[in-house]
Structure 1
C-alpha cells in the first residue's frame, strides 16, 4: 500500500510518542560499555593487588595498567571495543540474517544513533532499522543467559528467569517511537515503526508474541518474522523511506 502524503508531520497519529525517561544510575550500570569497563577494571584490580602483595606495589600497578590496555586492544580487534558502543554477538548474528533481505530490495541500517530535538544525538542506539514491503521495524538484538527461561505474563510482562525485562521493552518501544516521529517529520506523513526484540541464548516458547506492544521472538527467527507479515509498502515507498532514514539517523560508528 502506497504512502499517502497528508501534508503534516505525524499524519493521523495525533499524539507524539512518549519521551524517553531520564537516565538514572541503574540505567547507566546496564549500559553495555559500562559493564565492559566494570569487568575490565575488576580483573585489573585483582591482578594488581595480587602482584602488589607478592612482589611490590609498583609491580602490581604496572601489571594492572598492562591488563587494562591488553583487554582494550583484544576487545577492539574482536569487533567491539570503544567505538562508542560495543558490537554484541547478538547484533552480529542479526546482521548476518538481514543481509539476505538487502539483496531483495529491503533497506537495512545497523547501529544508528537517535538525534536529539536540538543539536547532537541521544545516548540511544537502534541496533537495526529495517524498511521493507511489510513495513518499518526497529529491532533490538539481545543476548541472554541460556540457563534462565523466558516467559510472558498476560502480554504485559516479560521475564528472563526471575528478572522482569520491563526496561528492555521500554527501551525498544522508545527507539521505535523516536524513529517513527523523526521519519514522519522528515517525510511529512505518518511512518509507523514496529518495535521488536530478538533474543539469543535461551529458548523462546513462542514464535512471535506482542508484549507491551513490542514483538518478542527468538533471534534466529528475525528474517522470517519480517517476511511473514502482510505487505503494506510498495518498492517506491521502501526506497523513499530508506533514503530518509539514511539522512535522519547517523551511524554510531562514524
Structure 2
C-alpha cells in the first residue's frame, strides 16, 4: 500500500450539530474535536508522508445551521460527516439535502467519505438501506465491538472499544460494502469500501470529558433515567480506541 501524498489532505468536515457548552468552549465546534483527533492520529501514525501540523487542509461546514453552504467536490479530497443529536432518518430539509449531497459525492466523484455515528447513518441512507430507531435502545459510553475479519485487518486489533452515543442505527449492510463489526446492541458498527467510504457507528473523537458532559446533560433533561445514567456513567472512563480509528481513517485517506 502506497501512503505517499504530495500535498496536504483536503478534508471538509460537515458539522451536523453544535457541541454542549464545555466542549464548545474548548473546541469551538465538532470540527475542532475532529481536527484534534486527526492530528493526534497523524502523530501516532508517524508516517513521513503525513505531517501532523502541515499535512492537513481542514475546512468546516455547518450544514445544520447553514444548509445552503457545501464544499465544491473539486476542492476537497474527502468529506467527514460528524455525529448529531438529530435523527438521521428525519424528513427535514437540511438532513435530506445532506443525504442528497452524500449520494452525489459517492456516485459522481472520487471524493472519499468518512461518516461517524449520525454521519455513518447518513451514508447508510445515501446507499439506500434502512435507518431508524434501534429497537434495542441506547448504546452509550465505552462499549466493545466485535470485529469482522476485515475490521481486524483495517484497525489492526482483534476487538475495538469505542465511545457510543446513539439510539438510531443502520439496519442492514448495503450491497457491496464490507462489514467491519457489530455489537450486541447494534449489528452495523462500521462500513468500508476501499478508496470510497469508511464509517463507524461509534465516536472515536469523544473522550471521557466530552462523554461525561453528554451523559450528565441527558440525565438532567430526562433523556436518561437514573438507572441508565448509572450504567453509562460507569463506562465513561474506560479505555477506548479512538486513536486506533483515527489512524485507520488516515490510512484510508492516503491509500493510492
TM-score (norm 1): 0.31
Higher relative contact order (CA 8 A, sep 6+): 1
Per residue, is there more helix in 1 or in 2? 1
TM-score (norm 2): 0.31
* Higher CA-based Rg: 1
